[in-house]
Structures are given as C-alpha cells and as structure tokens.
C-alpha cells in the first residue's frame, strides 16, 4: 500500500492520506494503521476512537502520529493504551520518535521492531516539561455489581469526585467532550442496551475542578464490573499530596460503605493541571492509598488487625466482611516502600487466588 507522504504546508508538517484507505488513516502496514491528527491537544473524540477501533478490529495496532508539540488528554492516552496503540511524534524536520519512551524511529514500522542493544531515547524526549509542575492524582478502582434490574452504575465516580475535589460529576458520554448531562439512570440504560459487549465511557466535572475519568463496564460470569480511571490536577505544591491522601482515604471509605469494591489505588505524580500528557519523559508515579475489597481481603487471608497496626489501615464497609483502606504514603513513609512491605506479607498462592496467575508471577518476580 501507499505509505505516508510527508509534505510541507505553510511551514507546518502535514500528511497526505492514501486514496484507497479510510479517510482517517494516514498509513497502513502489516502490523499497524496510523491516524495523524494535527491538533495541539488530542482528545478521545468520536472519530479518533472510531478510527483506532477500526484499526484494532483488523488485528493491527493503532498508531497515533502527531507533531512532537502535541499533548494527549487523559482519556485519549487511556484509549490508546487499552487498544494496544503506539504514540509516535514527528519533529518539524520529520524525525520520528516514540511519544512515551522517546525511542527513535526511521519509519513507523520501526515501532514494532525489537529494541536493539544499546538503544537510547532521543535527547529531545528527555527535556523537562515546564508545565508539569502541579501535583497529580491518578485513581484506579474496580467495583462489582450483581446483574439485577435495579442496579444503577456510576456511583463510585460521584463518591470519588466529591471526596477528592469537592464537586459533582457534570457530564458523561462515549467520547470527549463528555457532553451528556450526568444521569446515572441514563448511563445505566445505555450500558444495558449494549450488553454483553463491554462499554467504554468518559466523564468529567467542572473544568475548574481539573478532573476527568474513564469508565469501562464489563459483563462477567457473576455480574457486572465497573473499572474507573480518573485523573485529578491539584493546585499548589508538594503539600497538596498530604491533603490528597486524607481525601483519598475518605473517598475509598465511602466507596466501601456504599459499593462492592474489588481493588483500588490512588497514585501521585507531577504533571499538567489539565491532566494532559506531552511527548516528554514523565515523572515517576508512586502509590499513595490502597483499597483492598472484601473479596480480596478474604482471598489474601489478610490479618486485618496486623495490617491496621503495622500500616495504619482502616477497616471499612461491612463489619462481618470488611474492606481495608491503607494509607501507604503517611508519616513520612515512601508509598512504594510501604506497598512492597505490604506485598511481602502476602503468599504467592493467595495472590493467585485473589488476582489470578499474573499476581503469582508478579510476586515471584519480586
């Protein structure tokens, strides 16, 4: 097939799509299909998600080809990750590199070649992101529901948003912007109409709250699972993390009291206030607060009293089958140190029971 033609138009890099392909595809190879939006901020719009899904449906991996000055919204980055995609950026001179790792490419097909010994990131990828000066939270949470007619989805998004930023969720939708008025009954009806297919949604609060998220709802053998991911940009400096830990503990506590959580984690890092990601090396992320749902507490055979005394965990939810909220980054303790210390108290076979084979392999690797 005809490959990408890089042309100059008013000194800006543009791409010429091959005539025989989908209008949103710039190039198709044996392993990939490339989409080349030219906006400075790439959102998970309906057309972009549709193009990436079309590529994935052919067994290829989507490639997002953008200028090296572009940024991805939180939802766009999540969508690309879920679909196994690759972000490739080009400089004004036409040089290609990976937007996440900084790996250099001569052509798009190089993104799928093995990493060569001694290969290093492009120096331009290692530049400091001047905008990444705000504390950022990344929340991941899974909850379970029975498949009942009275089940209404989305409550955990409300609880977390209120706890973390003190505001309501305002909108939801299948793509950005989340333009539909937040209504859990309407959201649930839409998800139910698509069952048993999984449904991916976005949601957001007021722009001043600097938070947005994605929700994936999946039918399981035992009911329905909601998987939430949410980003929160925090005004202020390092001191904002301490307050965020308290708010996250409160949010997870409220989730455990009203919902059936499986597992959740709030992590902290630095980034832009709007939650977007540029094609530059990003600061590392560390876990701040962990939520272990009742089922995992049981399967991991956690000694609730011991974990409470050792890590300051809080037993929450139903007294007979409680969940645990563990503030990992507290009292000057490193979140990663506490996480690894907690993990060292668990047995590999219990991890397998709680999380499957991957959990066992992770435990053995550590």
pLDDT tens for 226-284 read: 999 999 999 888 889 989 999 999 999 999 999 999 999 999 999 999 999 999 999 99
Mean pLDDT on 148-153 = 93
Q: pLDDT class for 349, splitting at 50, 70, 90?
A: low
Q: How many domains does the chain have?
A: 2
User: Which residues form the domain of 301?
Assistant: 134-365
Mean pLDDT on 76-80 = 94
Q: What is the pTM for the complete model shown?
A: 0.86
Shared-domain flag, residues 294 and 221: yes
pLDDT at residue 362, as a whole number: 34
pLDDT at residue 14, as a whole number: 35
Shared-domain flag, residues 267 and 175: yes
Shared-domain flag, residues 147 and 265: yes
Residue that terminates a domain, selected from 64, 93, 126: 126
**Whole-number Å distance between alpha carbons of 337 and 287:** 10
Task: Give percent of the chain with pLDDT exceeding 90.
Answer: 67
Shared-domain flag, residues 99 and 239: no
Residue that terminates a domain, selected from 61, 95, 126: 126
Residue 3 clears pLDDT 60, i.e. is over it: no
pLDDT tens for 93-144 read: 999 999 999 999 999 999 999 988 888 999 999 998 888 899 999 999 999 9
Shared-domain flag, residues 118 and 162: no
pLDDT tens for 188-203 read: 999 999 999 999 999 9
pLDDT at residue 13, as a whole number: 34
Shared-domain flag, residues 117 and 214: no
Half-sphere exposure of 43 (CA within 13 A, CB side): 11
State the DSSP string of 184-232: HHHHHHHHHHHTTS-EEEEEEE-GGG-EEEEEEEEEETTEEEEEEEEEE
**Whole-number Å distance between alpha carbons of 77 and 124:** 20
Of 178, 307, 292, whose CA–CA distance to 230 is shortest? 178
Shared-domain flag, residues 201 and 333: yes
Shared-domain flag, residues 97 and 246: no
Shared-domain flag, residues 84 and 177: no
pLDDT tens for 36-65 read: 998 999 999 999 999 999 899 889 999 999
Shared-domain flag, residues 262 and 356: yes
Q: What is the residue-averaged pLDDT of the chain? A: 87
**Whole-number Å distance between alpha carbons of 187 and 215:** 11
């Amino acid at each position: 097939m005809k490959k990408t033609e890089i042309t100059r138009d008013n000194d800006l890099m543009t791409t010429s799509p091959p005539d025989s392909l989908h209008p949103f595809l710039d190039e198709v190879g044996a392993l990939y299909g490339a989409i080349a939006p030219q906006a400075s901020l790439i959102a998970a719009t309906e057309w972009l998600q549709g193009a990436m899904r079309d590529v994935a449906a052919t067994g290829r991996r989507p490639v997002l080809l953008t200028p090296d000055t572009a940024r991805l919204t939180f939802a766009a980055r999540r969508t690309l990750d879920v679909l196994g995609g690759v972000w490739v950026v080009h400089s004004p001179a036409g040089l290609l590199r990976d937007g996440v790792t900084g790996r250099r490419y001569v052509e798009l097909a190089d993104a799928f070649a093995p990493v060569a010994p001694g290969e290093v990131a492009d120096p331009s990828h290692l530049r400091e992101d001047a905008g990444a000066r705000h504390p950022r939270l990344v929340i991941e949470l899974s909850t379970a529901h029975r498949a009942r007619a009275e089940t209404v989805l989305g409550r955990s998004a409300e609880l977390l948003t209120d706890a973390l930023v003190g505001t309501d969720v305002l909108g939801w939708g299948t793509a950005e912007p989340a333009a539909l008025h937040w209504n859990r009954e309407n959201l649930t009806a839409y998800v139910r109409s698509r069952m048993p297919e999984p449904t991916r949604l976005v949601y957001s609060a007021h722009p001043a709250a600097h938070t947005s998220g994605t929700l994936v709802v999946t039918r399981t053998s035992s009911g329905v699972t909601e998987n939430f991911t949410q980003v929160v940009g925090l005004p202020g400096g390092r001191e904002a993390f301490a307050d965020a830990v308290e708010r996250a503990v409160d949010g997870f506590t409220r989730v455990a009291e009203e919902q059936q959580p499986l597992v959740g984690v709030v992590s902290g890092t630095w980034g832009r206030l709007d939650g977007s990601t540029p094609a530059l090396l990003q600061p590392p992320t560390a876990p701040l607060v962990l939520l272990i749902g009742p089922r995992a507490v049981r399967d991991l055979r956690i000694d609730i009293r011991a974990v409470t005394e050792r890590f300051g965990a809080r037993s929450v939810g139903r007294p007979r089958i409680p969940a645990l909220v563990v503030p990992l980054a507290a009292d000057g303790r490193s979140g990663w140190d506490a996480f690894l210390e907690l993990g060292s108290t668990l047995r590999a076979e219990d991890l397998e029971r709680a999380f499957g084979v991957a959990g066992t392999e992770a435990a053995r690797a550590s």
